[in-house]
Structures are given as structure tokens and as C-alpha cells.
Structure 1
């Protein structure tokens, strides 16, 4: 953080140098533009803005807008009020201000004495729109942002069609990795399928501003999908790129554009947003035994309304849809076997169905321990785990060191290489990190373990592993609207009982 506080004013020194002539016309010395920190102080004195603006120049992303406002104010000091002139001052200050010094004889106008020209209606609307966009962008980046729930992975805690407010200040807002991006969209431009909404000309390192607290166990957390760094434009994040590689092989995925489209990379802040419950914290040991989660040897009791997959056997009759609706059973249906149904059920729904006269038996799906699912992280035969019986696994903590060998490596390979940027190779049975033989590794970041409340219908950490701290976006706190996608307005589309409720 100290390094960034030093670096940021240095970055603003370069465009300020090109104001040499303007500084002199304002009665200052031209060489004052060359001194980092001090030149910004003088700049604010010239345009007569309060010194608290200086504090805002220390905050990434906000400082860009503040500096733009300073350039606009400097242009006004030389009688430049048109939108085109101010655009040039903001976007091309290194060309525009020296050009003014050479081509323009305008004198410096004291901000306290100059008369502001009357704006046209078009100009007033344009300024208002620009201000609104900038203000909304700052709010959604650093304070609070609206999200929607597109999938059922958090049923019944969060429902498909819930609209949430997510607090960015709960854990501290992240500085955007890609500040040059189209406002109010995520990674793709509106009305396009594959056109990026961002530019990678500037990519900032991970930095998080101070927040109200830290991630706690069982928080409902929004984060960037860790396995979404590389995606197929054909499948996007609906099917993980790494799953495609395991199924079809790298050569086919990269060469067959008809079936897989282009393979593209996305920066951290432009990966898909997921919401899950944080089950494991840095330094925890996690194990799942017959669907029950144990943290450091103790069963975890989270506040979520968990669902599991059940087989329901009837006397041959179907269950009345009205009963299913009343019990809020939204996933599942009849199988090919007469009298057999598969439903995702909470404990309450399961017990209610069991009391129906037509229901003969209810069995939970449970994959026994020792049966390996090849799609379960870390995708190694040395770890015969599945969704219902998993681990134990250690969740890395910043500064902690683990012993490395070829058996353990699959657990932490992606952390070492992809998340923490090391060169990792295995040669002749030995592990090399950054060219040196390694038998241990010390983690540079904290990591978290995320799981959906709809345990048997959730792509979560069991399938793609740890969530790095630099992927954490915020905490889900409030449902402000809830719409049932399967109903009409006349049929109860608005879930009134969920509006203005807090997320637990």
C-alpha cells in the first residue's frame, strides 16, 4: 500500500509536466510541474480547489476522475469551455496544453473572477449525464453494486430471480484491474456476443482499500469465478475451459473453432461473478463426510437452507403440482422408471413429502467414499473424492508453508502458477519453481472455500478449488426485488415476502 501511495502521484507527474507554460502564465514557476507530490499541490492552488481534493488523488480509480476534473478546470482558466476543448484537455493533455501555449495568446483567468458562460440545454444535459455516469461508476465500484441470481446453486437461501445489493466496503473495495472499460457492463459490450467491454492498455495490480471487516465463515460472498481466466467463446463460463480440455484435449479445443469458438483470456475483474457461501477460511482444514461439512474436525452449521438430491418413490401417482409449489420444490421431476421421481429437497420439504399417502419411500443420493469423480478438484487419481465425500484438504493462508511432492502438487499447482504468478515445471520427478528445485512453498495470498447451499446442484470449490483473496468482490447483504421466472405478473411473479430482506 505504501508503494502505491508513492507511485500514484508519480504517475500524475508526467501529464502535469506538459502544463509548464500554463503554470507560468498563472504566476508560478514552470519547474514546479516536475516535482512529484508538490506539483499537484501547486496545481490545486492555481485552479483554487480545496486541499481535500489532494486526498482523493491518493485513491486509485477515483484519482483518475479527480485529475480529469483538474485538467478541465485548468482549461477553463484559459477560456476553454466547449465540450470538444475540454475533451482534448482530458484525453490528450500532453498535446493540447503545449499546443495552447504555442498557438494561443489567452491570458490566465483567475477562477474567482472569471465569468462562466451560460450553457445550452444540450450542454447541460451532456454534463449531467457525464456526472451521473462517473458518480454511478464510483458508487458501484467502491460502495455497493446490484447483482441478480441467475442459477439455483444457492436455493433456497437465494432464489433465481433475486436482485441483490452487494456491499463492496464490507471487505474493502478492489481497485479495478482494467480501469478502461465501458460503464455498467461486465466483460462484453451490449448487443454483442464476444466483443470485450474493456481495454487492457492499462492493467493495475491487485490492491484492496480498507473495508469494514473481513470475510467470515458462512458469509454469502460474491467473487470472480477462479476458473474463468480462460474461456471458450462458444461455451463462455457455462462449461469451464478446463473441463473442455479434460474432455476433448487441448489440441481440439484450440483448433476446432466451429465447436469451441475462440479461446480468450479475461483479467480477474472481468471474470464471471459467482455467489456462494464461504465455508472454509484461510488456514482451515475441510472435509465432507456423507454430505456433512467438517471444519477443523467439527461439523459446520451454516445459516443457509441447504438442498440435497433425493429419489422419491410413489405408488405410481404423480405429486400434485400445487403441493410442489406450496413446498417450494422447483427442481426435479419424473424419471424413466414408473413411480420414481428425483427432486432437490430441503429437510422440511423432504419431511412433508414423506407424510403424503402416495409416497412410499424417499432416498437421498449419496456417493460413497472412495468413488472418484474425475470432475472433482484436484482431478488426480491420488485423491478419490466426490461431491459427498471429500478431503480432508488444507485451505492456504498467506505466509503459511506446505511441503511439496508430486502427490501433493495437484492441490496447489494452480495457486503456484496461475494465481501467484510463478514459473512451475516438473522435470525428472522433481518440482521446479522459478527455475529452482522446490520441496516446499509459502503462499503469498489468503484463499477461501466456497460452496452453494443447493449442495448437489452447485458448481463450487469442490469442482474448481480455492478462491484467491484478489477474486473476492463483496458481501451479499440485501434483496431489494425478487421475481419468479416461472410465473406471470398475474400469477404471483413478484415474491413480495422476499423484498427488502437481508441475506443470511
Structure 2
């Protein structure tokens, strides 16, 4: 369901009713000495300011999303309701998602929501690990970007609640030259390192796969995204690169989790 399109249609319909009321129906009511708005106008023109405000807020400022899976554990948990900044990377036209004003671009380590390249009606959330032009190597469950290895510390046991398996929790740190972002990830030592795509994807010619991992050169206008739950995430390793035009915004805040109120405000 394209909620943005539905909201846009509601804005148009209620806006026409609101304008018609202001220019014609309201003056007619005043002449007749009756200020009461008909029921059909109450439920169209009367709701226009609210619908318009929601449309503007959701389209250009922030949009709420719910985390449906465990691919971003431990950073984001199943059931987290998050807010996504819609303008940090630029202003996009609603419905068609066309960027009209560029204000920035994703950085290594940003957690972003984007339209899934294989089905753009579905929204995904992953962490950007490589930018256009980067060479990324994922080998033996460790990352290198442009030949620079990321640093790993920790390794404490962590129970993945989605599949009830124990994994190890590491802190993954980008080198200062790559932005210095730090975040936690999960690695399941009992899962193989091999990564093979389920089917050929656009830009597959930029990737080389082997038993220990893969190496990819990120094409212009695209990003390489991975889930923090590395052995329980369908991401760029399997279905390819994220086009810039598919980016929805940057995730920045957990505002609710009905199963764990302590999660509120736990992500930034």
C-alpha cells in the first residue's frame, strides 16, 4: 500500500473541498444566516488543515517506521518504532521520491531507510558501510574499505531473540580516515563466511565472490548497505547496491517499543 499516494490524494480532495467552502459555500451560509457546515464538508474541508500538516511533516521532515525483523540487532530491536529524518540528505518530492534539493549524502556508518531495489513498494533499513567509488571487502566476517581494515573489539555472547541462537557482540569501528563511526554488530561463529547472491543483480559485474566472502567496487550513485546482525540479514551482499534515488532518509530515534519501554530514545 502506497500510503504517501493515499495521503496525497486525501490532501487534494480535502483541499478542493476546503477552497470551495471558503469561496462559495461559507458565503452562501452567511447570507442564509446559517453558519453550520454540512456534514460532508465537515469530513472533507474540515479535515484539510490536519491532513495537510501530516502530509508536509511526513513528506519533508520526519516519517515513522516500525522495525519488522532482527536484521539490525543489536542496534535496533524487533518492534522498535523509529523516526527517520527526511531532509538530512535533501528535499525529495513526495510520492515519486525525486530529489529536487541536495543537502547532503549518506556517510559510512549511517543507518538509512530505503526502498528495496527489487521491490520498491517495500522499505528496508540497513547501515551504509561503503560509498560510491569505495572498494569493500568482506572476508572471514571482517570488513575492509579501500584497503583499510575496520577495528573489532568485544566478542561477548549475545542471544539473538529472533532465531534464539547465541552470537558474539562486537564493536565495529571505522578508521578515522573513513569517518570513525562506531557501532555494535553480531557475528554467529557457527554460520559460514561464504556469501553468494540469490540471483544476478544490477552491478553484479563489480563484485567477486569466494568461499571466504566478497569484494565489490561500489558504482557511482549507489551505496553498499549491511545489517548489523551480519549472519541474519539479507542485504547488499545478496541483492546488490542501493541506488541513491531509493534513499528515504536517515534513522535517528526510537520513539516507542510496546514490549520494552526502556528502548525509547536508545538510538541516535
TM-score, L = length of structure 2:
0.73
Unaligned runs of 5+ in 1: 1-60, 83-108, 179-205, 229-267, 308-323, 334-341, 349-362, 398-445, 484-492
Deviations along 1:79-100, whole A, 9 cap, x unmatched? Answer: x217xxxxxxxxxxxxxxxxxx
Cα distance change, pair 131–67 in 1 and its aligned pair in 2 (3 A): same
Partner of 1:389: 213
Q: 1:72 to 1:331 in 2, by over 3 A?
A: closer
**For residues 281 and 306 of structure 1, what CA distance do their matches in structure 2 show?**
27
CA contact 1:306–1:455 (8 Å) conserved in 2: no
Q: How much does 1:347 deviate?
A: 4.1
Structure 2: distance between partners of 1:467 and 1:288? 17
Which structure dedicates a bigger proportion of its chain to helix?
A: 1
Q: Deviations over 1:434-458 (max 9, x none)?
A: xxxxxxxxxxxx1011100000000
Matched, 1:291 2:122: no
How far does residue 128 in structure 1 lie from its aligned partner after superposition? 3.2
RMSD: 3.9
In the superposition, relative to structure 1, how do residues 343 and 72 fare at CA in structure 2: closer, same or farther (>3 Å)? Answer: closer
2:54 matches 1:136: yes
**Alignment counterpart, residue 214 of structure 1, candidates 89, 96, 105:** 105
Any idea what SS the aligned residue of 2:99 has? coil
Q: TM-score, normalising length from structure 1?
A: 0.41
- Are 2:264 and 1:346 equivalent residues in the alignment? no
Equivalent residue runs for 1:422-433 within 5 Å:
none
Q: Which whole-Å CA distance do the structure 1 matches of 2:155 and 2:72 have between them?
A: 8
Q: 1:149 — aligned with what? A: 67
Instruction: Spell out, residue by residue over 1:326-351, the C-alpha distance to the aligned partner (whole angstroms, 9 max, x if none).
Output: x5542445xxxxxxxx5333249xxx
User: Equivalents in 2 of 1:148, 1:170: separation in Å?
Assistant: 20
Tell me the residue number matched to 2:254.
479
Shift of the 385–134 alpha-carbon distance from structure 1 to 2, 3 Å rule, reads farther
When residues 344 and 73 of structure 1 are mapped into structure 2, their CA distance, relative to the original with a 3 A threshold, is same
Which residue, out of 96, 115, 118, partners 1:224?
Answer: 115
CA distance in 1, matches of 2:89, 2:127: 15
Matched, 1:81 2:21: no
Radius of gyration: which is bigger? 1
Query: What is the count of residue pairs matched by the alignment?
Result: 239
Structure 2 residues not aligned, in runs of 5+: 1-6, 172-187
Query: Which one has a larger percent strand, Structure 1 or Structure 2?
Result: 2
* Alignment correspondent of 1:163: 81
Secondary structure, counterpart of 2:93 in structure 1: coil
What secondary structure sits across from 1:364 in the alignment? coil
The alpha carbon displacement at 1:275 in A equals 0.3
Write the distance in 2 (CA, Å) between the matches of 1:158 and 1:383. 30
Greater relative contact order (Cα < 8 A, sep 6+): 2
